[in-house]
Structure 1
């Protein structure tokens, strides 16, 4: 189903954080959103998930006007539109398996949720999600004992448990080292490729957006100023998105590089691997 933002605006007092954004995304695209801090990227994702409401405009998913949902219908949308945060949003004192199982809460009755009763099938699903992310050995560890990269993979496994129709990732690799950044981005691309789920991710690194995303949206001052494929992201487009430095020079792309070693993929942004089974190999091979 097509997803659309129609003239979406968000104001905070006199400040316009997102300004009349119009975007149409077909099912199954992997979209990277780039721009300076304060460009409106996170605000846009939070409106899509309805963590905050738009001041104006409509958010549509197929025939559903997401911007008007309330009550159970809104909770169902937030289940179907999984959100992955930069800060992971895990419960540190709970073990990893329980954190992943929390992704099933919107599929369950209130009584079962309050009693924290999960079925055998749900536990099998959770272990399978952890195995897919290559961290099944951490299932009984407290989430707070894991590294940042491992915690982000737990957050992705929890999102998979929601059985989502769309995945939103708000700067999922901003606090990670290059090796873990690659593992997390490989995981998001695998979800997009294997399930055909639309993935929209905010990124602060141009090389990552070029490598992993088939479509890039650039934002500046709350507006969309670029919308195209990685090959169309020219130096002129980058300057329109990021502007110039204090001396009037254009941005140096190496300033935004994560130094992710993606080999030949860097020269072929449209290429998608069949899956992320070689995650462990990728970790071992990445310098």
Structure 2
């Protein structure tokens, strides 16, 4: 089903983080969202998952108006629209296997979840997800003992356990070294290609977006200023996205954070900059009706 955004806006007090964004995303697309730090990328993804509510505008997925969902219907949408975070959001003291199976919370009864009882089928699904991501040997380790790259792959495995229709990834490689970043991006690309799952990912380097995404959306000061394939990213388009005076001198591996420090990027709104509650996604899935 097609994802449609119409005049989507989010304000934090007097600051407009996302302004009048209108997009149509076809099923099975691999979309990269780029822009300086504070351009509105994370806010946009959080609105798609309804972890942040739009100030105005509409999100539709097929015939469903996502902006009007609440209660069980909203939790089902968060199941279908899985979110992968930069901070991994695993429970460090729990073993990897249990962290992955927590992706099934919205498929099962509250009682079973509270008692931490998982079926044999769920355990087999979790092992298969870990094997697919090449980390099955870590299944019984506490998640907090893994490297950053391994933890992000666990987070992807947990998202796959939701059997989603769409994957949202909020700067999934921003805190990883180049090798682990490649492994994670290869994994997301493989899921998109083999499963046909729509993947929308915020990326903090332009070269990564060019290498992995068939469609790139560029944001600046909350607005979409570019939308097209990588080959259409001309010097003028790069200038519109990053505000670089001489696009020919832009190092495409430079992070958006580095660009922000070098330029005059507006300060991120305080409500966007708050530390992430690592239990927030689990609370959203397990909240009572």
TM-score, with length taken from structure 1: 0.87
- The DSSP-based 3-state class of the residue aligned with 1:24 is strand
Note the alpha carbon deviations across 1:73-103, whole angstroms, 9 max, x for none.
Answer: 0000000000000000000000000000000
Give, in whole Å, the separation in 2 of the partners of 1:234 and 1:20.
Answer: 24
RCO greater where, 1 or 2, for CA within 8 Å and sep 6 or more? 2
Partner of 1:41: 41
Q: 1:158 to 1:251 in 2, by over 3 A?
A: farther
Q: 1:177 to 1:251 in 2, by over 3 A?
A: farther
1:256 paired with 2:253, answer: yes
Partner of 2:152: 152
Q: Which runs of 4+ in 1 moved over 6 A?
A: none
Partner of 2:103: 103
> What is the number of equivalent residue pairs in this alignment?
255
> Is the 1:171–1:202 Cα contact (8 Å) retained in structure 2?
yes
Partner of 1:81: 81
Note the alpha carbon deviations across 1:22-69, whole angstroms, 9 max, x for none.
Answer: 000000000000000110000000000000100000000000000100
Q: 1:251 to 1:55 in 2, by over 3 A?
A: farther
Give, in whole Å, the separation in 1 of the partners of 2:26 and 2:164.
Answer: 16
> Is the 1:30–1:198 Cα contact (8 Å) retained in structure 2?
yes
Please report the RMSD computed on the Cα atoms of aligned residues, expressed in angstroms: 1.1
- The DSSP-based 3-state class of the residue aligned with 1:193 is helix
The Cα of 1:252 is off from its aligned counterpart by 3.6
Partner of 2:286: none
Structure 2: tracts of 5 or more residues without a match: 256-289
Partner of 2:53: 53
Structure 1: tracts of 5 or more residues without a match: 259-287
> Is the 2:206–2:252 Cα contact (8 Å) retained in structure 1?
no
Give, in whole Å, the separation in 1 of the partners of 2:225 and 2:254.
Answer: 21
The Cα of 1:257 is off from its aligned counterpart by 4.7
Describe how 1:261-272 pairs up with structure 2 within 5 A: none
TM-score, with length taken from structure 2: 0.87
- The DSSP-based 3-state class of the residue aligned with 1:67 is helix
The Cα of 1:251 is off from its aligned counterpart by 7.0
- The DSSP-based 3-state class of the residue aligned with 1:90 is coil
The Cα of 1:172 is off from its aligned counterpart by 0.2
1:222 paired with 2:219, answer: no
Partner of 1:243: 243
> Is the 1:34–1:219 Cα contact (8 Å) retained in structure 2?
yes
- The DSSP-based 3-state class of the residue aligned with 1:254 is coil
1:197 paired with 2:197, answer: yes
